[in-house]
Structure 1
Amino acid sequence: MTKNELKEFLDEKVVQYNTTNFIESDPIQIPHHFSEKEDIEIAGFLVATIAWGNRKSIINNGKRLLDIMGNSPYDFVLNFSDKDTEHLSGFVHRTFNETDLAYFMKALQNIYLNHDGLEGVFSKYAEADSLQPAIHHFKNTFFSLPHLPRTQKHVSDPLKNSAAKRINMFLRWMVRKDTTGVDFGLWNSISSAQLSCPLDVHSGNVARKLKLLTRKQNDGKALVELDTSLRKLDANDPVKYDFALFGLGVFEKF
């Protein structure tokens, strides 16, 4: 397959999967419950954090998070105090538990009160051609309060060679200007050209079959290689191909 043929094939798959029908079976449906920027950001960040494993379980636990926060994520975070930890009792998604969730509430509160919100942190450290260093600095800011070491594993660090799939997915949701109503495009201080593809087992396997990726591990080095390949197909919106790679892998067993 030539480069032009590959681009044409993937562009067709983007059109096929980048539709509102995608929302029905994807964790992105959780932030789609809201219309206010901060509610969307917080709901999106939390559900992206637990977005590993069975998709149905992710969505169900995402809805439980909304219930816990009284369907007002921003208000819940801003007013969170130690007495509110009782509302988190019993929450668990795989290794993410109520203790981790309590810290996440405090850390998000700190970010909104003292660091100009989630967009403010990422845009402060964004580089012209990548958000991966910004994710590293975000993690440092996020864990600047006293916390248990175990909680740190729930935010990946690209500078430690992680593909940071979940947080790159969250950034796609927030930044990418989507004409079909899936991604939100809320953050105007960062462009789609700076985004990286959320690399997981599905997108990775398809990317290798299409010769977009040669590295066998789904790690930070593989992400750089995949980013380079996708930017050659569309420098302004490389992560639109996440829809194609994911759709081919999950829905078509490509």
Structure 2
Amino acid sequence: MIDEELKELLDFKAEQYNNTAFVADDPVLVPHLFTERGDIEVAGFLTAIISWGQRTTIINNAKRLMELMDDSPFDFVMNHTKNDLYLFDDFVHRTLNSTDLKFILRSLQNILRTFGTLETPFTIPFQTEENLYRGIGHFRDLFFGIAHPVRTLKHIPNIEKGSTGKRLNMFLRWMVRNDKKGVDFGIWNQFKPSQLYLPLDVHTANASKKLGLLTRKANDWKAVLEVTLKLRELDPEDPVKYDFALFGLSRFDKI
């Protein structure tokens, strides 16, 4: 049964935070520096992958990545050679170092040269079953389908081993939601917003627990499923709009 009072609160908070004012201090600012689909995809993916830690640091490091690629991320990924990767020799973001980044760029090149977009690898499993869980797993398998450093495996979430997949789910939210509010891009059309999973982090998890949307103590994939199913009851068409509400309630309203 839907708790109408809870739905009213979350709808209000989603509306409050899901607007262009949210962009300035959020990592989504970085892909918003671009207008071409390819640039948005690459900038969005790279920004999402380093989105843990302080938001100011995430934004600054993501902007530095864009500058190192001459502010043409799609063109750089598509056309760089091994000799070009020296540009990233000094790049570090927390535990992600230049070894990780150089592989990530090579893998993105492999995927984009094969498919032309990052969307297709997520959608291939949908030919037999509409399950984004399988799509996320397939993308990761493809990402590490070329020779890779073992250390880099930890930087692409593995939901099949229980990870929340927060960074991939956030990237998918950016690409898929198309509500025209000025935050998410909605440039992918092979998915429905109803299929998305909540990008569960410490803020959205804490708010979810305090509001009774989440009972599981561990922040893992089972927790993502539990809270996402509750959010789908509140809005079956666009459950992940409540990411804004839950994040804002914890981060700004301090519930």
Instruction: Give the alignment's TM-score, normalised by structure 1.
Output: 0.97
Q: CA deviation at 1:116?
A: 4.0
Paired residue for 1:189? Answer: 190
Distance verdict in 2 for CA 1:55–1:237, change over 3 Å = same
In the TM superposition, residue 130 of structure 1 has moved relative to its aligned partner by 4.0
* Cα deviation, residue 128, structure 1: 6.2
State which drifts further: 122-131 or 174-183: 122-131
Q: 2 CA distance for matches of 1:92 and 1:122? A: 28
Contact preservation (8 Å) 1:17, 1:247: yes
SS state at 2:197 partner: coil
Tell me the alpha carbon deviations over residues 168-201 of structure 1, each in whole angstroms, 9 at most, x when there is no partner.
0000000001221100000001110110010011
In structure 2, distance between residues paired with 1:71 and 1:176: 25
Which residue of structure 2 aligns with residue 240 of structure 1?
Answer: 241
Q: Distance in 1 between matches of 2:27 and 2:165?
A: 17
**Residue 61 (1) aligns with residue 24 (2):** no
Moved more, 29-38 or 116-125: 116-125
Q: Deviations over 1:226-246 (max 9, x none)?
A: 111000000110000000000
Pair 1:86-2:86 in alignment: yes
Q: CA deviation at 1:93?
A: 0.2
Alignment of 1:28-47 (within 5 A): 28-47=28-47
How many residues are treated as equivalent by the alignment? 254
Deviation of 1:80 (Å): 1.4
- For 1:85-122, what per-residue CA distance to the aligned partner results, in whole angstroms no more than 9, with x for missing partners? 11111000001111111111110111011134210111
Secondary structure in structure 2 of the residue aligned to 1:92: coil
Deviations 1:15-59 (A, max 9, x none): 100010000110000000001101000000001000000110000
Identity %: 52
Residue 3 of structure 1 corresponds to 3
- Aligned twin of 1:99: 99
Q: In 1, Cα distance between the equivalents of 2:150 and 2:179?
A: 37
Residue 227 of structure 1 contacts residue 238 of structure 1 at CA under 8 Å; is this kept in 2?
Answer: yes
Is 1:231 aligned with 2:228? no
For residue 208 of structure 2, what is the aligned residue in structure 1? 207
Q: Counterpart of 1:143?
A: 144
* Structure 1 stretches lacking a partner, 5+ long: none
Report the AA paired with residue 86 of structure 2: E
**Uncovered stretches (5+) of structure 2, i.e. residues with no partner:** none
Asked if 2 retains the 8 angstrom alpha-carbon contact of 1:156 and 1:162, the reply is yes
Cα RMSD, aligned residues only: 1.4
Q: Could you say what secondary structure the match of 1:117 adopts?
A: coil
Return the letter of the residue paired with 2:114: N
The answer (yes or no) to whether the contact 1:133–1:159 under 8 Å persists in 2 is: no
TM-score by length of 2: 0.97
Q: In the aligned structure 1, how far is the partner of 2:161 from the partner of 2:235?
A: 27
Moved over 3 A (4+): 126-130
Q: Deviations over 1:112-155 (max 9, x none)?
A: 11134210111112486642221111111001111110011110
Structure-2 separation of matches of 1:102 and 1:183 = 27
Structure 1 residues 251 and 128, CA, compared in 2 at 3 Å: closer, same or farther?
farther
Q: How far is the alpha carbon of 1:84 from its aligned partner?
A: 0.7
SS in 1 for 2:157: coil
Which region of structure 1 is more displaced relative to structure 2, 64-73 or 123-132? 123-132
Shift of 1:224: 0.6
